[in-house]
Amino acid sequence: MNYIVFDLEWNQSPGGKRWSNSRLPFEIIEIGAVKLNEKKEIVDSFQRLIKPQVYNWIHDSIHEVIHMNYKDLQNGTLFPQAVTEFLKWCGEEYIFFTWGNQDVMELQRNMKYYGKLSLLPGPVTYYDVQKLFAIRYEENDERRALEFAADKMGVEKQMDFHRALGDAYYTACVLQKIEDEYIFPNSSLDVYQNPKSKKEEIHVSYPTYDKYVSREFYSRERAMKDREVTSTKCPLCHNPAKRKIRWFMNNSKVYYSVSLCQEHGFVLGKIRIRRTEDNMYYVIKKLTNVTDEEADEIRQKRDAHRAKKRMKKEEV
């Protein structure tokens, strides 16, 4: 099994959102990766500059960070060839590691744009080293910058930050210093390639919470009427938990609920509804055991939400 630590640099519309391609808002311009064996020893590296096909200039803010000009990319490899070479280099059996949670999704979006998504079946399980570092070293699971983590771990600075291969290298160095007991129980799941049917729905148990990813629905309302979507079970014993606060939407993106497990106490439910590029909807539900105080905070949110709705009705 190869451990593939990779990083991407991408560009966006230099003219702003108005001129952005909705199918490819972020165009990958560099792939950098480091390969580790199962002992977490670095054994190889990979790097490709990508010749842009969508945006014909580097966005100013991107240029300030990566110090790369459009001219630097003109002799680069076209993305379909670069990603094919990258996945072949990964080997037959591999696991992805990244710093943060965006690279795996953007890789797939670029692959879909060029008709290469079949090379990477999803949903994709990977490991977010930024999250792992927080679990291991930060009391409040605070997300830190890569350079902060490298400095804290005493990693010698041999390459530039904010370039794909350099960031992949430093991420690998941080990974080497995190014990396996903090790594493998805490995988991440990218659902850019989301479940399409009931059979493909995902149920995952992590050390401190359960996650469920639903099939697609035609509307948000239909999703929230589904029994599996709105069910609540205790993440510790997996028995049904009795609803104390019904699902309510605190803002336009998140639904909350609180249930009670007789053995393990309160269970916080959180639902996010995502819209696909085909205008379908699917649900990501997270169930976590919480304290009485945390459950009461949700109750207060519910009450404030109800009060706001009443005020709006009275105004009408």
pLDDT digits (tens, 9 = 90+) for 62-73: 766 666 767 778
Residue ranges with strand state E in 174-252: 188-190, 202-205, 209-213, 242-249
Find out whether 9 and 30 touch, Cβ atoms under 8 Å.
yes
Order of all β-strands in the sheet with 94-98: 42-49, 27-36, 2-11, 94-98, 124-128, 188-190
The CB density around residue 189, as the number of other CB atoms within 10 Å, is 17
pTM of model > 0.85: yes
Tell me how far CA of residue 66 lies from CA of 11, 60, 71, 147, 165, in angstroms: 10, 10, 14, 15, 12
Q: What is the pLDDT of residue 280?
A: 96
What pLDDT shows up at residue 158?
87
Q: Say if strands 42-49 and 94-98 run parallel, antiparallel, or are unpaired.
A: unpaired
Query: d(Cα 147, Cα 65) in Å, to the nearest integer?
Result: 14
Strands 281-289 vs 209-213: parallel, antiparallel or unpaired = antiparallel
Say how far residue 315 (Cα) sits from the centre of its chain.
Answer: 40
Q: Which residues contact 280 (CB under 8 A, 6 or more apart)?
A: 216, 217, 218
What number of residues does the chain have? 316
Can you list the residues of the chain whose pLDDT is less than 70? 63-67, 69, 252, 316
pLDDT at 15: 82
**With b meaning 16 or more CB within 10 Å and e meaning fewer, what string describes 119-143?**
ebebbbebbbbbbbbbbbbeeeeee
Distance (Å, whole) CA 171 – CA 266? 37
Query: Which pair of tokens denotes residue 33?
Result: 């990766």
Is 36 within 8 Å of 43 (Cβ atoms)?
yes
